[in-house]
Structure 1
Amino acid sequence: MDLVERVEKEAELTRILSEFSAGKGAVVLLEGPGGSGKTELLHSIAGRARQGGSLVLHAGCSRAESALPFGVLGQLFSSMPTADGPVARLQALHRRLNAEATAEDPAHDTAAIGPGLARLLDEVTATLLELARTAPVFIGIDSIRHADPQSLACLLYLVRRTASAHVMVVLTDDTTAHRGLFRTELLDQPHTHRLALEPLTEDQVATLLARRLEPAEAERLADEFHTVSGGNLRLLRALIDDHLACGGVRKDGYGSAVLRQLGRLEEPVVAVARALAVLGSAEAPDRIARLAGVDDGTAVAALQTLASVGLVTGSGLSHDIAREAVLDDLAPEERTGLRLTAAALLHEQGCPPRDIAPLLIEADRPGGAWSVHVLLEAAEQELLAGRSQQAAAALEAALRAPVGSNAERASIESRLVQVRRLFDPATAERHLTALTAAARADELTPARTLDLVRQLLWQGRAAEAGELLDRLRTARPEAHSEAAALLDDTEKWLAWTHPTVARRTHRPAGRGRPAALLADALVNGRAHEVVGQAHQVLKDRGPTYDLSWPEEPALLALGVLLCTDSPDAAAWCDRLLREGHTPYSPTWMAMLSSMRAEAALRLGDLTGAVEHAQQALNHIHPGAWGVAVGAPLGSLVLATTRMGHYDEAGAYLTHAVPKHLFDTRYGLHYLHARGQYHLLTGHPHAALADFLACGDRMRAWGIDVPGIVPWRTSAAEAWLDLGNREQAARLAYDQLGRPGTNGARPRAAALRALAVGGPVARRPQMLSEALDLYERCGDRYEQIRILGDLATAYHELGDNRRARTHVRRARHLVGLCDAASLSEALLSFPDDGEEQTSPAGAGPGDGALLTGSERRVAALAVGGYTNREIAAKLFITASTVEQHLTRVYRKLGVRCRKDLPVELATSVTEAFVGQEA
């Protein structure tokens, strides 16, 4: 022990020991809070005394033996090395003391010293002094406050006579110990020395850490370890051992040291520590006192004691592990009782529900109607604060309370399912059976029953959902009631997402919630009519706590933007992902990421689609997705297939999916993606089966609109691969005549199918129109396919210049969207030895020299358009086109159109998307 504080005290003890060795008696009272190193210092000085030839007698006092008469004396005499002469007499005297004490007070209920005991104590003292005349006697007693009264009386007999005797007595005591008569008389002796040990300072903690840890680490941890240990040497050493063992704080390390420290304190102090562990804060000492069953003064004194031994920092226990250790040391029944008592006390004092709820949550069975009310209020407050998991814990605790009617309990459980769905829908499933039974027993309101229907459908339990829907439909709520409006809105949503259980309604358009109106427009192929409303829904979206319809309005609005190829769909997804959700919901983030993956696919951003789809499956694990897993999984399959990663796509297709997935819209995305996988891997028959299965479902469900999946044009591609151009043309013409095909994407897909299956002479015109439409959508993947088709058509027509131009542009786009599945055909395309790189002086960065008009003209020229075609597209004259091109050649240092950098072709999409925006 060579810390500064301890070195000074050890030096003082060494000086007193030197005087003792010279023949001068001494008494030392070594004081300090628990864990300050008193015992270690006592053992150190006793060792030195033994080395100096002293007879060392030692004893350790404990609370358990404090009622044993002369117990401490017995320990001292038992520690003597021999049993002859004075030692034998002392041991015999000890036996006589016990006998006399029993005779004077058989019950041992008093520490009174009668005449017989007094004579024996005098004889004991005389024998000890006789022993000291032959050799120095060192007596060390640890924790003197727990010594039995009879032994204390004997010690007082001795210390009064040791001033000139060769006897040194060292006692350790806590600074918080009771100031009794023994202590007072002891300190009154002129040869008594009082040495006080203080808790370690931060510098001393740092010094001790430096001996066990690296210097930089010791410096970093000094403040934290000093705060947590309070300078208590016992706690500090436990913290260091824990840090070396696991880099943290362990319950069986530091936690055990906390319990050992508590075990050395008085019962009222321990009771206050337990109350503090339950309440968590000592800011209201009167509350601590009531819970601990002590008066206010005792509680304040106990808190000071706990602070002095390093167990309390600020207004609470010094570490969470300390709190856990104290609570775990209680029997389960006692722990639960304390928590319920504390909760009732806080409720009585008008504390906020959020402060009371943790106590009720930790209790096994919260009792009383008041506790349920508190937990329900706390759950709503936690939701307002964005802490959905804490809200779920409060609702679960409310369910454990043995109070309330079946309907009330069903209402609580329904709310719990709503909350759980926010962060892990899979955990909500175990409640659905009980809630379904409650709904059948009419113990749920229509609104909660409809919410249960949505949860059942998410888990693929369509039969139960349909049964509950039929009950609501049969009940026929009043025409203009809230229940009727909710049912009607739900029917519209069901028609879009779960059409097998939907019943079409004929409510006039323009009525109902925004989500229902958007869903109705999507189902009926009128998405283009509600684009403005979709934007408004997304703009108005703010924090929402209505968990019965939390994310649907925004998701349906995004669906409208995707189905209409609005250029800002991806930007809205990104914005909503950045903003998050209040309360925070991994489920919401997962569904948004899935929508973002679909948006990336529609832009030909295959790498982005994979990234966002994987994020969707990371936010909540695939098993928690229920039937909706078809959306992100379908995006992963389609994107990896188009990237040419066929093994990866095939692995995704081996994932188990719910069997009822194919009864939902999400199943259509999965089926279509699987069909594309089959098509691109050379299995057109399997692909055709999947595409036609999509069509059969969409027609049967009444949602046969191309905005969902383009099954007709995909099936047409499969027919073309099988050599049946007639069937392919029939499907393409059929799509052109469908409602909702006024958008760019459906028409472009149909035109491509007709062009590829038609006469070569007609292909460039139809393919050029399709290319324009895909450029407007911003879909690079489809642009590559069209450019490849155009190159093939021009090559067959003998126009190799245009063919090469389109191939160069397609190859450039392949690199931008990582569409490896298309690169092989482009690389094998004959180019007649044409250079594929830009000429000197026409680097990619030179496009910055051009004005906006010049870039648009140059981009279309690179795309193979004639001056007249460019003029028609940009609504300018052919002469103006010629003037722009002349300036472009001069700025880029090229001689003719074929020398223009192919990178300029990307400006086509930017130009038209910018005009649309």
Structure 2
Amino acid sequence: MALVERDDILRQLDLLLAECTAGSGRVVLIDGPVGTGKTELIRYCGARAAGSGVTVRAATCARAEHVLPLGVVGQLLRGLPAGDGETGAGTVCTGPDGAADPDTARGTDTLCEEATQDGCRGREARADGAGRAARIAELLDVGAAIAGRLGRDPDRELAQIHQELTLLILDLSKRGPVLLCIDDVQYADVPSLHFLLHLVRRLGSARIAVLLAGDLASHPLDLPFRAELVRAPEFRSLRVGPLSPAGSRDLLAAATPVTPAPSVPDPYQVTGGNPLLLTALVQDDRGFGQPGPEVFGLALLSCLHRGEPVAVQVARALAVLETPVPDGVVAPDTATLAGMIGADVPAAARALDAMNAAGLLDDGRFRHKVARDAVLGDLTASERTDLHRRAARLRHQQGAPAATVAAHLVEGNDVQPPWGTGVLVEAAEQALLDGRPERAAACLRLAARSAAGERERAAIRARLAHAEWQTSPAAAARHLSPLVSAAHAGLLEQRTNAALVRQLLWHGRSAEAEDLLARMRAVAQAEPEDDAAEVHDLEVWLATVHPPLARRRRGPAAGSAVPAAPAADSWLRSAALLADAMAAGGHRTGREPGPSGITGAGVAGTGPVGSGLVGADRAESALRDLHLARADPWAGEVALLALLLLTRAPRMDAAVAWCERVLADPDLEDQTARAMATAVRGALALEQGDLAVAADHARAALRRLPAKAWGVAIGLPLGTLVLAATRTGDLEEAARQLVQTVPEEMVASRYGLDYLHARGHYHLAANHAHAALADFLACGDLIRGWGLDAAALVPWRIGAAEAWLRLGNVDQARQLAQEQLGRPGATRVRGLALRLLAAASPPGRRLQPLTEALELLEATGDRLGQAYVLADLSRVHDHLDQRRRARLLLRRALHIATMCGARPLAQELLAISGDGRAVFGLGADQEMITGLTDSERRVASLAVMGYTNREIALRLYVTPSTVEQHLTRVYRKLNVKRRQDLPADLWTDATHTG
């Protein structure tokens, strides 16, 4: 270890040796926290002394050996080398451990008596220089025996032994300077301390230096010893502490030439400047400056165990108290720590102060997770459990938040009746609100073990099913059968039953859901208003999402409303409102009754969406407030319905932004919500014509939840993936997805429509027009049978019209296109219908509907739809002998199809154009493109898309002459001769151009 920021102390140690050599005895005490380099300083001084010819004797004390009388003196003096001409003759009988053996030598009492007879034998031995080593050994054995017999009070006999040992050392110092070093002196045995005092009193002009080191704050020295030591004129005290931030960096720089990465935490913040921990940072296998359990954690444990036992206990209690809620938790007070370990408060306070002083803690808290984990790892499982149980009791008595107490209950696997169940349930609700379903589930699993009765146990199980649903619907399914039994036994509230119906339907258990619905309807007829409101809202939601189970809805008369009682689930009401708006096609205002007779005005102030909101506004309002609904089982359904409404509004940008926020949240534990957001993001990308993104998100959604966990909702991501693969020409991938087993009940839900619609397009691409027509018409039959034709859940008429065209039945195709145009619906669907109407019309009547279709699809951002319309427009202009216009439109369609990844369409258009350069050639150096001005890039990007100069001028609000001038400069800068040679790289600018 490099000695950084220790210059003053090193000078004092050099002075100590100089004074000792000059004949001035000195005593120096180095005091400081554990791990701050006291041992390194002793080694430094010892090495300097030995190099100068000084006799160096060293001893290291240990807590376990403080009961051995004269153990420290024995380390210092046993084996002391004889001077010149000394033989070391003279022996004493010893046992195997070096102590006097009473069976083979003279008895202890005899030795004591002889040792006190004026020290004659000792003086004679010193006078002739013989037998010093033997005499020292003999005196130590006798002294140990006396001290062991007399305890802490030395008598005259022991004092005489101290005197003779002192005279032996003084005699040795006459031959040369002597340095006695004692490390961890706080653990020295009392008889040895008394000997040291005896020696210190006689230093005077002797060439003897005594160097002591210890952590006296954590373990004070024997009070009489310290009081007399500090009075000695030869005494000097030095204080050593942790390094400064700059010193910490200097020590690391001296230890390794490696430059720390920017991500490496500040060494001082991690170690508090403790040199031992700083050295461990360098040695750890995790890399320079990164604390790890291998070395850093062990170094911290070493510091703790070298201190007092109470410090280890306090550190363990602190680690346990920090474990459940490490973020933002206030450091526990000393009384709490003392109560956990059964220690008195002053002892715990001293331990905390010592750990803070050593840099192990920062104001009573661990500086790094590795440090806390190392302390926890030092506990046995039973020790940790016991500490958590104690912590739970203490925290509850102190009135700590339920989340804090519950975390300890869970870690301790102990409910602590009678108060534990309530604390666990309260903590679970808070965890759900905070988006921590795993924590909530852990609390609820423990709470269920101590529920007071069947009703409470059923309620807890229902909340547990909801918590587990957020991480794995498949795992939560194991609760459904017991909950169904509890519901039929009347143990669950109606709002809980409503959530149970949704979970049953998700897993395709429609028969059980129908039985439970029948019971709910019967109860609603006889129970208070809130039960009726719950059932009504559930019926409204069912009519859109699982229509076969909903009763034919005969809602209130127009302008009336079904009131929501205060106890009703406001998020179920929100789901009902959104479902009702979707059933109406998203166009009805909040004050117009929908198919259910429900109005936004009827729930003003009762739910997350306000009164008078149109469908899209209501959807955005619900998404904004969704963070308030994490504890509600209907939150996920509200999110999905809101996103689908925004897609049809169209407010696709808002839907995409919400999905991206969810997917970018690294702390989101709700895997079901993340999977659903991923699936919806894929569906949105599909509607925008971004086929690669759509397929990627659909695959990611299917990976995030296994097929069993998706239940009937698997139709959404599976349908997206099949349709995206079909559009890109990857029919093998689409076929692989279609052979997957899906729940039979899926087709009885709205998710089945996504699946059937995608399968129809696969059949169409595979030239199975009859099979495709059957799937599209099946979608239509289901939608019309459910009374949801206005909802436009899938554009089945568009698909069926395409199939009829393939089969040569133009009249049927035209009829379906006209039917679609005669209905209110999404702008995008209207654009697709106009294209099909044009295809079913004579060539001379196609231009107007195709032009209108292009405008609509551009407005909604459906790029793939634009490519198909542009291709059709190219054919129309070619038919009208407008070749130049036809080529420009074809090139524009080819660019868009290529950017979308629609290989079948791109290959078809490429074959027509016969110009591979339009897509695959004539790329430009990126530096050349960046050399264009913003105005030039805007003009060039629109030219790449196939717009004429006049159209570009209208879009950019400039004159055609200005456009021509810009293009001339673009051609020159990019070294091309015509707009057909403009690089496709400019397409990325086109998507952002007005």
Scaled to the shorter chain, the TM-score interval is: 0.7 to 0.9
Question: 1:330 maps to which residue?
Answer: 379
1:529 counterpart (561, 584, 588): 588
Measured in 1, the distance between the counterparts of 2:688 and 2:243 equals 66
Q: Relative to structure 1, is the Cα distance of residues 125 and 218 closer, same or farther in structure 2, using a 3 angstrom cutoff? A: farther
More divergent stretch after superposition (662-671 vs 143-152): 662-671
More divergent stretch after superposition (448-457 vs 789-798): 789-798
Deviations 1:654-684 (A, max 9, x none): 7775565444322321232233234224444
Measured in 2, the distance between the counterparts of 1:114 and 1:831 equals 116
Q: Relative to structure 1, is the Cα distance of residues 746 and 536 closer, same or farther in structure 2, using a 3 angstrom cutoff? A: closer
1:552 counterpart (627, 637, 648): 637
RMSD (CA atoms): 4.7
Question: 1:212 maps to which residue?
Answer: 255
One-letter amino acid of the structure 2 residue matched with residue 112 of structure 1? D
Question: 1:174 maps to which residue?
Answer: 215
One-letter amino acid of the structure 2 residue matched with residue 556 of structure 1? L
One-letter amino acid of the structure 2 residue matched with residue 543 of structure 1? D
Measured in 2, the distance between the counterparts of 1:674 and 1:156 equals 96
Matches within 5 A, 1:4-403: 5-78=5-78, 80=80, 84=89, 85-102=131-148, 104=149, 110-133=151-174, 136-176=177-217, 177-179=219-221, 180-214=223-257, 217=260, 224-242=266-284, 245=287, 248-280=290-322, 281-282=330-331, 284-384=333-433, 386-389=434-437, 392=440, 395-396=443-444, 398-399=446-447, 402-403=450-451
Question: 2:539 maps to which residue?
Answer: 491
Q: Relative to structure 1, is the Cα distance of residues 768 and 112 closer, same or farther in structure 2, using a 3 angstrom cutoff? A: closer
Measured in 1, the distance between the counterparts of 2:202 and 2:855 equals 114
Q: Relative to structure 1, is the Cα distance of residues 715 and 706 closer, same or farther in structure 2, using a 3 angstrom cutoff? A: farther
Measured in 1, the distance between the counterparts of 2:779 and 2:247 equals 75
CA contact (8 A) 2:805 2:813 kept: no
Q: Relative to structure 1, is the Cα distance of residues 74 and 432 closer, same or farther in structure 2, using a 3 angstrom cutoff? A: farther
1:457 counterpart (505, 512, 515): 505
Alignment partner of 1:29: what SS?
strand
Measured in 2, the distance between the counterparts of 1:186 and 1:282 equals 38
1:708 lines up with 2:793 in the alignment: yes
1:519 counterpart (567, 576, 579): 579
Q: Relative to structure 1, is the Cα distance of residues 732 and 447 closer, same or farther in structure 2, using a 3 angstrom cutoff? A: farther
Question: 1:627 maps to which residue?
Answer: 712
Q: CA deviation at 1:451?
A: 1.0
Q: CA deviation at 1:590?
A: 4.8
Alignment partner of 1:829: what SS?
helix
Deviations 1:112-137 (A, max 9, x none): 22344344443433444445455654
CA contact (8 A) 2:26 2:209 kept: yes
Measured in 2, the distance between the counterparts of 1:893 and 1:152 equals 102
One-letter amino acid of the structure 2 residue matched with residue 72 of structure 1? V
Q: Relative to structure 1, is the Cα distance of residues 580 and 610 closer, same or farther in structure 2, using a 3 angstrom cutoff? A: closer
Q: Relative to structure 1, is the Cα distance of residues 133 and 860 closer, same or farther in structure 2, using a 3 angstrom cutoff? A: closer
CA contact (8 A) 2:797 2:817 kept: yes
Q: Relative to structure 1, is the Cα distance of residues 217 and 580 closer, same or farther in structure 2, using a 3 angstrom cutoff? A: closer
One-letter amino acid of the structure 2 residue matched with residue 186 of structure 1? L
Q: TM-score with structure 2 length normalisation?
A: 0.74
One-letter amino acid of the structure 2 residue matched with residue 45 of structure 1? C
Measured in 1, the distance between the counterparts of 2:41 and 2:21 equals 18
Measured in 1, the distance between the counterparts of 2:720 and 2:465 equals 28
Measured in 2, the distance between the counterparts of 1:34 and 1:811 equals 74
Q: CA deviation at 1:631?
A: 1.6
Q: CA deviation at 1:457?
A: 3.0
Q: Relative to structure 1, is the Cα distance of residues 487 and 370 closer, same or farther in structure 2, using a 3 angstrom cutoff? A: same
CA contact (8 A) 1:58 1:76 kept: yes
Q: Relative to structure 1, is the Cα distance of residues 35 and 558 closer, same or farther in structure 2, using a 3 angstrom cutoff? A: closer
Q: Relative to structure 1, is the Cα distance of residues 587 and 366 closer, same or farther in structure 2, using a 3 angstrom cutoff? A: same
CA contact (8 A) 1:787 1:810 kept: yes
Q: Relative to structure 1, is the Cα distance of residues 645 and 125 closer, same or farther in structure 2, using a 3 angstrom cutoff? A: same
Matches within 5 A, 1:724-735: 724-726=807-809, 729-730=811-812, 733=815
CA contact (8 A) 1:638 1:674 kept: yes
Question: 2:657 maps to which residue?
Answer: 574
Q: CA deviation at 1:313?
A: 1.0
Q: CA deviation at 1:711?
A: 3.4
One-letter amino acid of the structure 2 residue matched with residue 88 of structure 1? A
Q: Relative to structure 1, is the Cα distance of residues 253 and 509 closer, same or farther in structure 2, using a 3 angstrom cutoff? A: farther
Measured in 2, the distance between the counterparts of 1:203 and 1:758 equals 82
Q: Relative to structure 1, is the Cα distance of residues 465 and 255 closer, same or farther in structure 2, using a 3 angstrom cutoff? A: farther
Question: 2:864 maps to which residue?
Answer: 781
CA contact (8 A) 1:784 1:810 kept: yes
Q: CA deviation at 1:343?
A: 3.1
Q: CA deviation at 1:693?
A: 5.1
CA contact (8 A) 2:877 2:886 kept: yes
Measured in 1, the distance between the counterparts of 2:23 and 2:961 equals 113
Q: CA deviation at 1:732?
A: 5.8
Q: Relative to structure 1, is the Cα distance of residues 371 and 787 closer, same or farther in structure 2, using a 3 angstrom cutoff? A: same
One-letter amino acid of the structure 1 residue matched with residue 155 of structure 2? G
CA contact (8 A) 2:953 2:959 kept: no
One-letter amino acid of the structure 1 residue matched with residue 43 of structure 2? H
Measured in 1, the distance between the counterparts of 2:952 and 2:18 equals 104
CA contact (8 A) 1:376 1:394 kept: no
Q: Relative to structure 1, is the Cα distance of residues 31 and 699 closer, same or farther in structure 2, using a 3 angstrom cutoff? A: same
Measured in 2, the distance between the counterparts of 1:23 and 1:861 equals 103
Alignment partner of 2:287: what SS?
helix
Q: Relative to structure 1, is the Cα distance of residues 521 and 52 closer, same or farther in structure 2, using a 3 angstrom cutoff? A: closer
Measured in 1, the distance between the counterparts of 2:744 and 2:277 equals 58
Measured in 1, the distance between the counterparts of 2:791 and 2:5 equals 83
One-letter amino acid of the structure 1 residue matched with residue 190 of structure 2? P
Q: CA deviation at 1:309?
A: 1.3
Measured in 2, the distance between the counterparts of 1:184 and 1:862 equals 98
One-letter amino acid of the structure 1 residue matched with residue 274 of structure 2? N
Deviations 1:308-327 (A, max 9, x none): 11122124233233223333
CA contact (8 A) 2:821 2:834 kept: no
Q: CA deviation at 1:609?
A: 4.2
CA contact (8 A) 2:949 2:963 kept: no
CA contact (8 A) 1:811 1:826 kept: yes
1:669 counterpart (731, 754, 757): 754
CA contact (8 A) 1:439 1:449 kept: yes
One-letter amino acid of the structure 1 residue matched with residue 42 of structure 2? L
More divergent stretch after superposition (799-808 vs 419-428): 799-808
CA contact (8 A) 2:646 2:655 kept: no
One-letter amino acid of the structure 2 residue matched with residue 43 of structure 1? R
Measured in 1, the distance between the counterparts of 2:961 and 2:188 equals 106
One-letter amino acid of the structure 2 residue matched with residue 192 of structure 1? F
Q: CA deviation at 1:605?
A: 4.7
CA contact (8 A) 1:692 1:711 kept: yes
Alignment partner of 1:488: what SS?
helix
Alignment partner of 2:296: what SS?
helix
1:637 lines up with 2:696 in the alignment: no
Structure 1 residue runs without a partner (length 5+) = 864-884, 895-899, 904-909
One-letter amino acid of the structure 1 residue matched with residue 407 of structure 2? P
1:415 lines up with 2:463 in the alignment: yes
Structure 2 residue runs without a partner (length 5+) = 83-87, 90-130, 323-329, 563-572, 591-612, 923-934, 966-977, 983-989
More divergent stretch after superposition (196-205 vs 426-435): 426-435
One-letter amino acid of the structure 1 residue matched with residue 644 of structure 2? G
